[in-house]
């Protein structure tokens, strides 16, 4: 299996060759040359597999340059009840992603029982083990530099802590995260994790990361890498739970289902699109946005108009506060019949701050065959959904999952079982839960009182010279 760039101008690479990198040299994103197909016999056999065995079966089709025994060992070590045991006390941890049925035909797929209580752990934990394996083989080291406003940074740190050959330098804006988020990250005492609190906003932290990454000489000598959501390893790991959720919600492989996905960077739902392209019987992929609705706008009007940070709203589902969806380019590559020149043309505009519109093209006619629906949700909708779920089913959901449920219920086709992806636990977003329900969400036992643990972090001005000096001193 080789990987090609969405912009059509980069040499094909293997899974391990693209694992540690980011963008392709032509600025595009990597995708398989063609999607591996899953036969009916395979689907029938996969239905009975444990999560780790299913992950092995799915990922074997993508990571063809990792010896089977090694890949098997990596997924077995990753997808254990011990790693994914943070969920509510009534969730069977050995399922890894338990399916909670609200009523016949309406389900929640729990993806947030990992160490940081968000679905990003599903892929990031695997990535940590894949990175360690690949670096060991190459006798190499990697210094991961990132900026976070919450979820991604903590998921990366919990995945990379204690890993050989890897250090994490994670920038976060001082005072802009919740006490819980801060405690989750800053209480890590692993010597390979460096939390750097930046005097400024998230954008200032992000700019520092870009400044270091654009210094190609520094980046090369200091082996700087990233783990952002365009990483192919992350997308491929997310494909697995679409299969798992499908099997859990159906009796046979003749049935179709709908998935509803709270979306920001289009990473999660991109995995669903790929699962469908592989042959998983998904009848409908429902994309939910919050008030930051560029993706809903595309699927309803054909115009993709990314916005800049000053036009991105701060909402109560903050992990979806994104107005430029990096993984969306992967879907558009398929939509335009894998025409790299067309993607170059579109993203030539996007990269200059512009937009594109497919309304009057054949691509708009082609869109329905990808089975997407979309909708948006507002703060009011989230509150109402959180209340409704609690009153009707006694189930507490977080704000992002609520966006997905609201849009999923609106957009679902009759007779198609609906699987709403849970992307975080309510414990991560206490403030909005209290606003909706007048009570605090339950916290997994392991997280009780983490705000009281000693915290370890350095404070720094938003100054690239100081940041480089710090990294240089610690590698």
Ligand X SMILES: *Cc1c(COP(=O)(O)O)cnc(C)c1O
| Active-site residue list | 120
Comparing CB distances to ligand X, the nearer of 160 and 427 is 427
Q: Of 173 and 262, which CB lies nearer to ligand X in the complex structure? A: 262
Q: Report if residue 205 touches ligand X, rule: CB under 6 A.
A: no
The least distance separating ligand X from the CB of residue 320, rounded to whole angstroms, comes to: 5
Using CA atoms of 380, 302, 329, 337 in order, give the dihedral in degrees to the nearest 10.
140
Q: Which residues contact 429 (CB under 8 A, 6 or more apart)?
A: 178, 316, 398, 399, 441
Binding span for ligand X by CB under 6 A among 100-108, 179-187, 265-273, 442-450: 265-273
The per-residue DSSP string of 95-122 comes to GSS-EEEEETTEEEEE---STTSBTHHH
> By rule CB under 6 A, what string of x and - marks binding of each residue 299-338 to ligand X?
--------------------xx------------------
* Interface map 137-176 toward ligand X (x if CB under 6 A): --------------x-------------------------
Q: One symbol per residue from 396 to 425: x for binding ligand X (CB under 6 A), - otherwise; what is it? A: ----x----------------------xx-
DSSP 302-343: SEE----GGG----SSGGG--SS-TTHHHHHHHHTTS-HHHH
Contact 170, 157 (CB under 8 A): yes
Please work out the total of residues on this chain that contact ligand X, with binding judged by CB under 6 A.
Answer: 16
Nearest distance, CB of residue 389 and ligand X, angstroms = 16
Q: Is 229 in the site for ligand X (CB under 6 A)?
A: yes
| Contact residue for ligand X among 58, 96, 118, 160 (CB under 6 A) | 118
> Which of 128, 267, 306, 408 lies at the binding interface for ligand X (CB under 6 A)?
267
> Judged by CB, which is closer to ligand X: 288, or 457?
288
Closest contact distance (angstroms) between CB of 383 and ligand X is 17
Q: Which of 207, 233, 188 is nearest to 78 (CA)?
A: 233
* CB neighbourhood size of 22 (10 A): 15
Neighbour-count burial of 415, counting CB atoms closer than 10 A to its CB (0-12 exposed, 13-18 middle, 19+ buried) = exposed
Min CB(74)–ligand X separation in Å: 22
Single out the segment in contact with ligand X by CB under 6 A; choices: 54-62, 257-265, 330-338, 464-472: 257-265
- The interface with ligand X within residues 376-395 (CB under 6 A) comprises none
Helix (H) or strand (E) holding 3: strand 3-5
The DSSP code sequence of 205-255 is HHHHHHHHHH-HHHHHHTTEE---TT-HHHHHHHHHHHHHHHHHH-SSTT-
> Judged by CB under 6 A, which stretch of 43-51, 76-84, 258-266, 329-337 contacts ligand X?
258-266
Helices (H) and strands (E) in the chain, counts: 19, 15
- By three-state DSSP, how is residue 196 classified? strand
Distance CA 353, CA 442 (A): 42
Question: With respect to ligand X, which residue has the nearer C-beta, 153 or 340?
Answer: 153
Instruction: Give the range of 100-108, 211-219, 263-271, 331-339 binding ligand X by CB under 6 A.
Output: 263-271
DSSP 83: T
- Nearest distance, CB of residue 409 and ligand X, angstroms: 18
Among 78, 228, 268, 385, the residue binding ligand X under the rule CB under 6 A is 268
Q: State the greatest distance between any 2 C-alpha atoms of the chain, in Å, as a whole number.
A: 60
Residue number with CB closer to ligand X (122 or 193): 122
Q: How far is the CB of 336 from ligand X (least distance, A)?
A: 21
107, 120, 163, 182: which one binds ligand X (CB under 6 A): 120
Q: Per rule CB under 6 A, is residue 265 in the interface with ligand X?
A: yes
Q: Cα-flanking dihedrals φ and ψ of residue 236, to 5°?
A: -65, -35
Compare residues 234 and 244 and give the one whose CB is closer to ligand X.
234
What is residue 172's three-state secondary structure? strand
Quote the least distance from Cβ 396 to ligand X, whole Å.
15
Q: CB count, 10 Å around CB of 151?
A: 24
Q: Which residues of this chain interact with ligand X, rule CB under 6 A?
A: 118, 120, 151, 229, 262-268, 319-320, 400, 423-424
């Amino acid at each position: 299996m080789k990987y090609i760039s969405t912009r059509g101008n980069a040499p094909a690479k293997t899974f391990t060759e693209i694992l540690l990198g980011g963008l392709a040299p032509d600025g595009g994103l990597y995708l398989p040359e063609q999607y591996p197909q899953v036969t009916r016999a395979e689907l029938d056999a996969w239905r009975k597999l444990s999560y780790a065995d299913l992950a092995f079966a799915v990922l074997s089709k993508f990571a063809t340059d990792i010896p089977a025994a090694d890949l098997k060992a990596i997924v077995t070590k990753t997808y254990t009840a011990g790693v994914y045991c943070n969920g509510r006390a009534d969730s069977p941890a050995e399922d890894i992603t338990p399916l909670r049925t609200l009523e016949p035909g309406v389900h929640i797929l729990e993806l947030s029982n990992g160490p940081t209580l968000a679905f990003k752990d599903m892929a990031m934990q695997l990535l940590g083990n894949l990175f360690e394996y690949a670096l060991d083989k190459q006798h190499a080291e990697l210094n991961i530099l990132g900026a976070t406003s919450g979820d991604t940074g903590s998921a990366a740190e919990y995945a990379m802590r204690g890993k050989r050959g890897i250090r994490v330098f994670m920038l976060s804006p001082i005072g802009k995260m919740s006490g819980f988020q801060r405690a989750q990250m800053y209480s890590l005492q692993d010597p390979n994790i460096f939390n750097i609190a930046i005097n400024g906003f998230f954008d200032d932290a992000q700019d520092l990361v870009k400044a270091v990454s654009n210094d190609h000489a520094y980046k090369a000598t200091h082996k700087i890498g990233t783990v952002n959501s365009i990483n192919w390893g992350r997308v491929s790991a997310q494909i697995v739970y679409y299969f798992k959720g499908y099997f859990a919600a159906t009796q046979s492989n003749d049935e179709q289902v709908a998935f509803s996905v709270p979306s920001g960077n289009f990473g999660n739902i991109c995995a669903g699109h790929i699962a469908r392209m592989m042959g998983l019987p998904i009848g409908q992929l429902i994309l939910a946005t919050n008030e930051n609705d560029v993706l809903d706008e595309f699927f309803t009007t054909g115009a993709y108009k990314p916005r800049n940070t000053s036009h991105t709203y701060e909402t109560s589902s903050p992990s979806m506060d994104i107005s430029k969806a990096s993984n969306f380019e992967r879907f558009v590559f398929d939509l335009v019949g894998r025409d790299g020149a067309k993607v170059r043309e579109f993203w030539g505009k996007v990269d200059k701050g512009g937009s594109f519109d497919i309304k009057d093209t054949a691509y708009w006619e082609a869109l329905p065959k990808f089975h997407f629906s979309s909708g948006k949700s507002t703060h009011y909708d989230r509150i109402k959904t959180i209340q409704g779920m609690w009153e009707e089913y006694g189930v507490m959901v977080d704000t992002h999952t609520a966006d997905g449920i609201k849009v999923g219920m609106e957009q679902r086709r009759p007779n198609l079982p609906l699987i709403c992806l849970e992307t975080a636990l309510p414990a991560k977003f206490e403030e909005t839960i209290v606003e909706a329900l007048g009570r605090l969400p339950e916290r997994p036992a392991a997280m009780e009182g983490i705000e009281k643990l000693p915290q370890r972090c350095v404070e720094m001005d938003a100054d690239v010279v100081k940041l480089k000096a710090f990294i240089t001193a610690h590698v």
